[in-house]
Amino acid sequence: MEAVIACGIQKAYFNKSGTRYLGEKAEILKVRLVSYLSSLDRKQIATFMVREVHQPDDKFYLRTKSHSLVGTPDIEIPEVFKPHIKMVINTTRPGALYATPLESELNKIKPSRIYIVGVETHTNVLFTAEELRNRGYDVKAFEALMTSEDDYLHALGITLLANTLSVRID
């Protein structure tokens, strides 16, 4: 069994009215992700969609605290991704394992490898990969299936994934 963790799969990033909409990058990534997710054998690969959900008084995110608020469309999963979900994981931090059920789900299926995709390469993807690597998981990322609001931050995220965390990048 293997697993895919798709970070930031929510309307905040992928919908034109989202507070963190990534524009053309979101539209390109949406097509690529749907194609990739559609190609997976669901009997062999479990897919987890991770989304940020923040309370209006959450003080952790100072610069971007107005995004992905409880009760707003920002936290909704875009319809195009819904058929590919095994489980939606709500997180309040950049890493998908902090105070979420994801770790116990991974312990149940014991994946031999975890593929990580989504947004933002330099935060959500990077911190989730760091948590996974610290727990001994074999992690692989696909550069074409990740993006960030800024090309420099995306490149920095890829560099840190590969050179610091030893994540395999294709």
3, 103 in Cβ contact below 8 A? no
Q: Contacts from 108-113 at CB under 8 Å and sequence distance 24+?
A: 109/1, 109/3, 109/46, 110/1, 111/1, 111/2, 111/3, 111/46, 111/137, 112/1, 112/2, 112/138, 113/2, 113/3, 113/137, 113/138, 113/139, 113/140
Domain boundaries, the chain: 2-169
- The yes-or-no verdict on residue 135 having pLDDT over 90 is yes
What pLDDT is recorded for position 42? Answer: 87
Rounded to an integer, the average pLDDT of 130-151 is 96
Residue 19 confidence (pLDDT): 86
CATH of domain 2-169: 3.40.50.850
Could you report the per-residue pLDDT of 44-95, keeping only the tens digit for each? 999 999 998 888 777 766 665 567 888 889 999 999 999 998 899 999 888 9
How many Cα atoms sit within 13 Å of 13 on the Cβ side? 26
User: For 13-31, what is the mean pLDDT?
Assistant: 93
Q: Is the pLDDT of residue 10 over 70?
A: yes
The tokens of 93 are what?
Answer: 């931090």
Residue 102 has pLDDT above 70, yes or no: yes
- pLDDT, position 60: 67
